[in-house]
Every structure is written in structure tokens, then in C-alpha cells.
Amino acid sequence: MSSIKILRGNGQSYGRGGRIPVSRSKFYEDFVLKDSTDPCIPGTTILRVRPVPLGGKCTGFVEHELDAVNAALVKARDVAPLPSK
């Protein structure tokens, strides 16, 4: 069985050097599931990640789920037609 790794916020999950290199506000606005009626990242069919409560106000995110979002974003980019000039 493979191990599950939970990454904490800034620097691991998002931000400079994080799995999703966007600001904290952009990460929570676009990539984190808050409403089950809106499960996808805006403009895509890619599912948002669900936070893992770590205690108090601290949350983390499952590493392989963040990696899956990145892979899906690359795949969506590769199937989209290139814009014409």
C-alpha cells in the first residue's frame, strides 16, 4: 500500500515552491472545494481538492490530489487548440 502524504499550506500546497504555484487567495478561491454544487475548477471539468482538517484552523491537502490537478491542467492544455494569430 502506498503512503498518503498531507501537505500543509503556503510553501507546500500553494505559493512559491508549492504544488500549485498561485497565491493563497487564488488557491482557496479556485482550487479548494467549498461547495459541492460547484465541484470544478473554473473553466474546466477538473475537480477541486478537498481540505484535510489538521486541528484548529490548520488544514492540509493530499499530495497526490494536488499532483492530479496539475496533471489534469496540463492534459487540458494539450488537447485545446492553439490560438490563431
Q: What is the pLDDT of residue 1?
A: 57
Q: Are 62 and 13 in contact (CB under 8 A)?
A: no
Low-confidence residues of the chain: pLDDT under 50: none
Model pLDDT, residue 80: 76
58 falls within a domain: yes
Structural domain includes residue 84: no
48/28 Cα distance (integer angstroms): 10
Residue 71 lies in a domain: yes
Residue 84 has a pLDDT of 78
What pLDDT, on the 0 to 100 scale, is given for residue 21?
A: 93
Q: Chain-centre distance of CA 52, in angstroms?
A: 13
pLDDT of the residue at 20: 95
* Residue 48, domain extent: 6-79
In a domain, 1, yes or no: no
What is the total count of domains within the chain? Answer: 1
